[in-house]
Amino acid sequence: MTETEVKVRIDDLAALRTKLLTLGVVVMKERHFEENTLYDFRDRRLQERREALRVRKVGRKTFLTFKGTPQKSRKYKIRTEYETEVRSARDLVRILQSLGLAEAARYEKHRTVLRKGTLLICLDETRAGTFVEFEGEREKIAQIARALGLPKKNWIQKSYLTLLREAGEGV
């Protein structure tokens, strides 16, 4: 599956959420805590290819996600993404370690998940700041960003890991 997304740093989370709701956006999952752990081989080959293998814990649920190398795009982050829920986080980590993977980085965030049609919108609170992340078709991303007054010059393609490192947050 191909994922197309952008992030935008925001100052006033409550005001943005209110604007989103007036645009007909629906809350799918209220604010919750997520723990994200990235795994890589010792030679950092996934990082070198700008790929990611992530284990995300949300409450009692655990998800394994692979993100491929981003495609060239001036404004959007476009990459292959595969995700599945796993029954046992402990066994998943054992499998990854048995394959020669080790924990490469860890970060946490609070996330609120919203949706407007096929467009997924996440309000993310991290140690690097607060962001809105849009995931879906390019036209729908551009349309809602315009409606919210978020110009393309403010769009971010970087990962949260990169943003955290740039903010001086050791991850």
Instruction: Going residue by residue through the chain, which has 171 residues, state the pLDDT in tens, using 9 for 90 and above.
Output: 899 999 999 999 999 999 999 999 999 999 999 999 999 999 999 999 999 999 999 999 999 999 999 999 999 999 999 999 999 999 999 999 999 999 999 999 999 999 999 999 999 999 999 999 999 999 999 999 999 999 999 999 999 989 999 988 766
Answer left, alpha or beta for residue 44, where phi above 0 means left and psi between -120 and 50 means alpha. Answer: left
The pTM of the full predicted model, rounded to 2 decimals, is 0.93
CA distances from 40 to 11, 14, 132 (A): 33, 36, 27
Query: What pLDDT, on a 0 to 100 scale, did the predictor assign at position 168?
Result: 85
Query: What pLDDT, on a 0 to 100 scale, did the predictor assign at position 49?
Result: 96
* Domains of the chain: residue spans and CATH: 2-166 (2.40.320.10)
Tokens of 147: 């409606």
Query: What pLDDT, on a 0 to 100 scale, did the predictor assign at position 169?
Result: 79
Query: What pLDDT, on a 0 to 100 scale, did the predictor assign at position 160?
Result: 92
